[in-house]
Amino acid sequence: MKIKTKLRLGFGFLFAVVLFFGALSMFYINEIAKSSRVILKDNYETLRYVREMRKVLDQNPLRLDEKSISRFNIYLAKEKGNITEPGEQSAVNELAAAFNALNAPSIPETTLMADQRHVRAALLQIEVLNMQAIVRKNDAAQKSVEKTTVLLAFAGTFTFLVLFSFSVNFPGFISGPLQKLQDGIAEISRQNYSARLDLPQHDEFADVANAFNSMAGRLKDWENSNLASVLSDKRRIEAIIGKMRDAIIGVAEKGEILFINPAAKEILNLEEKMPEGKQISEISKHNDLLTMIINEQASNKPLKIVVNGKELHFVLETHEVSVPNLSGNNPEGINYAVQPAGKVYILRNITEFKELDEAKTNFIATISHELKTPISSIKMSLKLMQDERVGSLNREQQQLLEHIKDDSERLLKITSELLDLSQVETGNILLNFVPADPSQIVNYAIEAVRFQAEQKQVQLVVNADKDLPKVQVDVEKTAWVLVNFLSNALRYSPERSKVVIDVNQIGTEVEFAVTDFGKGIDEQFQKRLFDRYFQVPTDGQNKSGSGLGLAISKNFIEVQQGKIGLRSALGEGSRFYFRLPGVPA
């Protein structure tokens, strides 16, 4: 039966029940109305006739005249035609006989009063019969009303129970299959493709159930057909991860270890354990290295780990894993709705690169150290050649010597920077921390570049706050950084300009800043300015350096727990600064 037919039958049944109750009510109301009409019409008319006949007797003297007799006979005739009660006919006959005797012409005066009493007695008897009939019929009508009320109450109760049962049960014909369909869809969403719907009715819901079962069967077949390929892909991925030299650990969202390759087991000394499926927090309680990994304490620096008696170097990488949110309660599309699925920790083996970097650093340090001696000899020879006691030089020779001297000094500066860089990279840099007055560092740097500033007629302006706290630093290394800032500022400043040195207290730190008013630095180069060997492209008017000064400056400041940075814009100059923690008073 179709759903439309069910609805029509249901609402038709409701209409029939309401119509039945309405018809029953109308029938009994009509019966009550009939009883009321009988009382009002018949008996009331008789009482009115009796009242009018008694009025004739009351208003006229005995020996009634023709007019009074005629009037009495009129109402008597009406009463004869309105006899409805048992005994009323004999009473009417007695009334007629008594009235005739009262009006007989030969009746003596002595019997008039007796005849009148007979007439009045007959009227009273008729009146009593009709009054009793009224009472009786009223009782009967009352009983009929009570009976009708009881019947209507039973009919109303029956109708209410029918309608209530219908309202409770009939929606189940609709909501029941819908609920089953909803439960089936929920099972499919939980990837339970074995769920089936059993709806024996022959309606649209049965068609939907058949379609649902067909869909679930196809999904089940699809799952079975893809399970083998999924398992194959899983084994292939596990084989690839197992052969990698890098240590890889996969952790689910709730902390359960999903996979861990042999390299990670060897590094973490978990060879004889089976950590898969266990909580990583439980295993890390007895493994400091694993605790450091999951807390990401070594994410910004290389790790040196001894494995089988050999020092290996690793870098920790952490990757959040997200998967499409297929829970069904996300209103967004699958491409945009994702949920976290866990993390992957990778200890990337950089031992080979670390060894190559150390070899490079040692090579540069050796070459730089070896080059300092011949460069110093060249500078000494140049100084002797420029001494007039050796012999005078012509103008062209003097210019050549100046160029050789500039190149020698530049080469010596590069070798010194390479030596400093090699010390930083190998960790052999030695710092002598002492409480130093910021003005001492500024004066030291200004004296170092004063000759260079005078050559370009650049004014050095110092703006320093009063009562600056001392800084716990290596004075020589910090002054070297400030000298590097000033040298760069003087190199790119136009002649007869100025360079401003600001020394300010910012919170608990002291900031040293050098501001020039040159052409500025393009924004695309600013992020790489502190990288090693990076040089901003020049227009050929200024000689570029080695690209190491700012990189070494950054290492010097950061190793002293400071911060370094710049702000620059094309056409507005540049401001290089570093901040160092102040010494509490």
Helix %, strand %, coil % of the chain (to 5): 60, 15, 25
pLDDT (tens digit per residue) in 161-199: 877 777 777 666 666 777 777 787 888 777 777 778 776
Residues 10 and 146 grouped into a single domain:
yes
CA distance 155 to 159: 6
Which residue type is seen at 194? S
Picking from 85-99, 293-307, 358-372, 386-400, which range would have the lowest pLDDT averaged per residue?
358-372
> Do 12 and 160 belong to one domain?
yes
Q: Check whether residue 408 and residue 277 sit in a common domain.
A: no
Look at residue 188 in the predicted model and tell me its pLDDT: 79
Instruction: Strands of 253-408 (E only): list them.
Output: 257-260, 303-307, 310-324, 338-349
Give Cβ neighbours of residue 510 (< 8 Å, ≥ 6 apart).
Answer: 438, 468, 469, 471, 503, 504, 579, 580, 581, 582
What pLDDT was estimated at residue 576?
Answer: 95
Least confident of 34-43, 196-205, 212-221, 544-553: 34-43
Residues 109 and 151 in one domain: yes
d(CA 272, CA 269): 8
How much is the pLDDT for 334?
Answer: 46
- 330 and 345 co-located in one domain: yes
Q: Are 416 and 305 in the same domain?
A: no
76-80, 141-145, 413-417: segment of lowest average pLDDT: 413-417
Whether 14 and 119 have beta carbons less than 8 Å apart is answered as no
How much is the pTM?
Answer: 0.40
SS3 274: coil
User: What is the pLDDT, as a whole number, of residue 505?
Assistant: 92
Confidence of residue 575 (pLDDT cuts 50, 70, 90): very high
Q: Last residue of a domain, which of 316, 349, 382? A: 349
Residues 50 and 81 in one domain: yes
Q: What is the mean pLDDT of residues 347-375?
A: 63
| Boundary (domain end) residue, out of 173, 202, 222 | 173
Q: 208 vs 185, 211, 459, CA distance in Å?
A: 12, 5, 90
Alpha carbon distances (Å) from 321 to 251, 329, 434: 10, 21, 48
Instruction: Indicate whether 414 and 436 sit together in one domain.
Output: no
- Residue pair 148/31 in contact (Cβ under 8 Å)? The answer is yes
Instruction: Examine the domain organization and report whether 300 and 384 are in the same domain.
Output: no
Q: Are residues 345 and 360 in the same domain?
A: no
Count other Cβ atoms within 10 Å, centred on residue 19. 10
Helix (H) or strand (E) holding 563: strand 563-569
Beta bridge partners of 349: 314
Of 157, 173, 189, the residue that ends a domain is 173
Q: How many domains does the chain have?
A: 4
Phi, psi dihedrals of residue 199, rounded to the nearest 5°:
-120, 100
Q: Contact, 354 vs 408, CB < 8 A?
A: no
- High-pLDDT (> 70) share of the chain, %: 73
For residue 405, pLDDT over 60 is answered with: yes
Specify the pLDDT at position 424: 57
Classify residue 256 by its DSSP letter: B
Return the pLDDT at 499.
94
Quote the domain boundaries for residue 538.
432-581
